Amino acid sequence: MNGILTLDEFIIQRQTEFDYSTGEFSRILRDIGFAGKVVHREVNKAGLVEILGKTGTTNVQGEEVQKLDEYANNRFIEALRFGGECAGVCSEENETFIAFDDKNSIDSKYVIAMDPLDGSSNIDVNVSVGTIFTIYRRKSGFLGKPCQLEDFLQRGTSQVAAGYIIYGSSTMLVYTAGHGVNGFTLDPSIGEFCLSHPKIRIPKKGVFYSYNHGNYTKFDDSIRNYVDHCFKETVNGTSYGYRYVGSMVADIHRNLLKGGIFMYPKTSDAVNGKLRLVYECNPMAFIVEQAGGRATNGHQRIMEIEPKELHQRTPIFIGSEDMVLEVESFL
Ligand code: AHG
Q: What is the pLDDT of residues 144-197, one digit of tens each?
A: 889 999 999 999 999 999 999 999 999 999 999 999 999 999 999 999 999 999
Residues in the chain, pLDDT under 70? 1-2, 17-22, 46-53, 55, 64, 142
Q: What is the per-residue pLDDT for 14?
A: 81
CA dihedral 251, 257, 261, 263 (to 10 degrees): 30
Q: Which residues are bridge partners to 195 per DSSP?
A: 184
Sign of the CA dihedral 141, 144, 148, 152? positive
- Ligand 1, atom 15, lies closest to the CA of 246
Q: What does the pLDDT read at residue 145?
A: 86
Residue 117, amino acid = L
Q: Looking at the CA of residue 92, tell me the nearest atom of ligand 1.
A: 2
Question: What are the backbone dihedrals phi and psi of residue 239, each rounded to the nearest 5 degrees, phi first?
Answer: -70, 150
- Per-residue pLDDT at 1: 47
C-alpha closest to that of 117 among 108, 107, 129, 106: 129
pLDDT attached to residue 142: 65
Closest residue CA from atom 14 of ligand 1 = 246
Q: Distance of CA 15 to CAs 10, 23, 33, 154, Å?
A: 9, 7, 16, 23
Complete domains list, the chain, with CATH: 7-197 (3.30.540.10), 208-330 (3.40.190.80)
263: CA distance to ligand 1 center in Å? 11
C-beta separation of 208 from 254 below 8 A: yes
Q: What is the pLDDT of residue 50?
A: 62
- Ligand 1 atom with minimal separation from the 274 CA: 13
Q: Find the 247 Cα to ligand 1 centroid distance in Å.
A: 6
Pocket test for ligand 1, best of 120, 167, 216, 275 (most atoms within 8 A of CB): 275
DSSP H helices, 273-320, are 282-290
Element (H, E) at 258: helix 248-258
- CA 39 / ligand 1 centre spacing (Å): 19
Instruction: Tell me the pLDDT tens digit for each residue of 196-220.
Output: 999 999 999 999 999 999 999 999 9
- Exposed, middle or buried by CB within 10 Å (0-12, 13-18, 19+), for 196? middle
Please classify residue 8 by burial: count the beta carbons closer than 10 Å to its beta carbon, then call 0-12 exposed, 13-18 middle and 19+ buried: middle
With a Cβ cut-off of 6 Å, ligand 1 is lined by 63, 118-121, 212, 246-248, 274
Pairing of strands 260-264, 316-319: antiparallel
Q: If you measure from the C-alpha of residue 111 to the centroid of ligand 1, how many angstroms do you get, rounded to a whole number?
A: 25
What is the number of residues in the chain? 331
What is the best residue among 248, 255, 280 to mutate for testing ligand 1's pocket, by most ligand atoms within 8 Å of CB?
248
Q: Alpha-carbon distance 213 to 244, whole Å?
A: 9
**Cα of 268 to ligand 1 centre, how many Å?**
17
pLDDT at position 20, please? 54
